[in-house]
Chain A
């Protein structure tokens, strides 16, 4: 069943089209990777879906409800959470307080928010840093705190924006565990933007590729890795021509 439906979405900034006529659906329980070269419009697409930017044309449905013209906080209330490339709820709050900000979307009680935040942090193996200030943590831990904060709002759909960027292999391993846990054990549908191919190809059920604001491919990870258009987008037309025989 479709949880997120994006229908012919176009986003223009002045004369620049960041997203052009993008359509896709994400079904309940899927883990979809979104890749593409820098500037291909991935984050813009997330911003449109999460209500941060109004779309220029097109329609977006979440769980059957039209969220196209809703503000970010209303979209969040309907069950869509996201992380940002840079940053958490508040740098001068402790880790658990940050996650509480997320939890406060579903409860007014501080006690309940704190209890829930503690649970989430334990689930993501962050129990050791609960009382640290977020600004004092290493980047990898900060990224995981952003995920925990987003989870605080009990989402149906979680959008992760480059949570593994700039991390070393063992940190990526930790993040991957967290993502798998969120998807498999908590049963949350996940869509993630990522440049770390190793992670995308390993965890995703399905991968979508954007290039210059257009969707150029959509399929399972293996077929995407062999897709001629995708290779062209990343490595250029010449590479494809020169390695014609290897690609077939």
Chain B
């Protein structure tokens, strides 16, 4: 009961924030009803997906301060679980998604246990390494199609197939991911006010103090890492049904990991709205760059340059991202 109340209670935000959030929510709900290009729709779906990735990352990376640059491996686990189960045994999305989450969480315990013995940059580097190793393994694993990847051919099914999440029109996918998105917000809203949420912020500040307050620092990090993982794997499963063609390179590569972390870091790590803000800025930018600049010869890779600039700008100007700037201005006004 208290859990539910915490999840639905946004009263600690200023009125203005809630008004803007409400308007955005209404816009997201009615967006498909207005005329829009396929490109805009695809961008919106990407925005929702990456917001969710970012929200997941934000639990461990933002609230917990553990910079994780290996989240793509869990996108891969989720996507591959769903694709393999569907193609080989015709197991629908709503079974394969939770199963994928379970696999991802088990894997996160296996690597989280040793990895959280490391701190700071060493932890970040180790997460990159595990993600890349897993990608390389998938590239040579014939059972999952090796480097060719897997393809879900929609002809075999009869869209709209809600069980298997196979649709012809993107608008169905849009509403499915929008539902996840809203649930994700409620979950994180609960999380940040939960015992674990407070404990993590204490861990981020000073692990010795956290330990003296009875917090098992290592275990709290592992638990939160699993939560972040569950988010990412869930969206990974969705990704498989939506894109229908998955390869190790485009689900588990380093760019995806960095992009996931960047959502929250740019928008504001450790705040509820941060990852959404970050995705709202980065995803349209990324789609635009890919569509127009990336197609021009010689400009491919410009998005990576841009990410690098953003990372440098964040660390130089305001480590807490866009939301950090907003809060700074607010506090100055209050005085």
* Docked-complex contact B206 and A87, CB < 8 angstroms: yes
* Docked-complex contact A89 and B214, CB < 8 angstroms: no
* Docked-complex contact B205 and A110, CB < 8 angstroms: no
Q: Does A175 contact B (CB under 8 A)?
A: no
CA distance A72 to B217 in the complex (A): 10
* Docked-complex contact A50 and B212, CB < 8 angstroms: yes
Q: Which residues of A contact B (CB under 8 A)?
A: 50-52, 71-73, 76-77, 81-82, 84, 87-93, 97-98, 100-102, 104-105, 107-111, 113, 149-150, 152-153
* Docked-complex contact B211 and A93, CB < 8 angstroms: no
Q: Does B204 contact A (CB under 8 A)?
A: yes
* Docked-complex contact A93 and B214, CB < 8 angstroms: no
Partner among B6, B194, B210, B214 whose Cβ is within 8 Å of the Cβ of A77 = B214
CA distance A82 to B202 in the complex (A): 15
A61 to chain B, nearest CB (A): 19
Produce 1/0 per residue, B183-214, CB < 8 A to A: 00000000001110011011011101111111
For B207, the closest partner residue in chain A by CB is A72
Contacts of A107 in B (CB 8 A): 195
* Docked-complex contact B212 and A81, CB < 8 angstroms: yes
How many chain B residues touch A (CB < 8 A): the figure is: 22
Contacts of A97 in B (CB 8 A): 198
CA distance A51 to B163 in the complex (A): 53
Partner among B6, B202, B208, B217 whose Cβ is within 8 Å of the Cβ of A101 = B202
CA distance A217 to B202 in the complex (A): 37
CA distance A111 to B1 in the complex (A): 12
Given A90-B201, A90-B204, A92-B201: A113 in contact with B213 (beta carbons within 8 A): no
Q: Does B215 contact A (CB under 8 A)?
A: yes
CA distance A92 to B270 in the complex (A): 11
CA distance A85 to B206 in the complex (A): 13
Produce 1/0 per residue, B309-326, CB < 8 A to A: 000000000000000000
For A97, the closest partner residue in chain B by CB is B198
Which residues of B151-197 have CB atoms within 8 Å of chain A's CB atoms? 193-195
Would you mind naming 12 contact pairs between A and B with Cβ atoms under 8 Å apart? A72-B212, A76-B211, A77-B214, A81-B213, A87-B206, A89-B205, A89-B210, A98-B202, A101-B213, A104-B213, A110-B2, A113-B195
For B215, the closest partner residue in chain A by CB is A73
Partner among B206, B211, B213, B216 whose Cβ is within 8 Å of the Cβ of A152 = B213
Partner among B6, B193, B213, B217 whose Cβ is within 8 Å of the Cβ of A89 = B213
* Docked-complex contact A110 and B212, CB < 8 angstroms: no
* Docked-complex contact B195 and A76, CB < 8 angstroms: no
CA distance A221 to B210 in the complex (A): 33
Contacts of B208 in A (CB 8 A): 52, 72, 84
CA distance A179 to B206 in the complex (A): 24
CA distance A223 to B82 in the complex (A): 76
* Docked-complex contact B195 and A102, CB < 8 angstroms: no
Partner among B6, B204, B209, B217 whose Cβ is within 8 Å of the Cβ of A110 = B6
Contacts of B213 in A (CB 8 A): 73, 76, 81, 89, 101-102, 104-105, 149-150, 152-153
* Docked-complex contact A52 and B2, CB < 8 angstroms: no
B32 to chain A, nearest CB (A): 37
Produce 1/0 per residue, B3-20, CB < 8 A to A: 000100000000000000
For A100, the closest partner residue in chain B by CB is B198
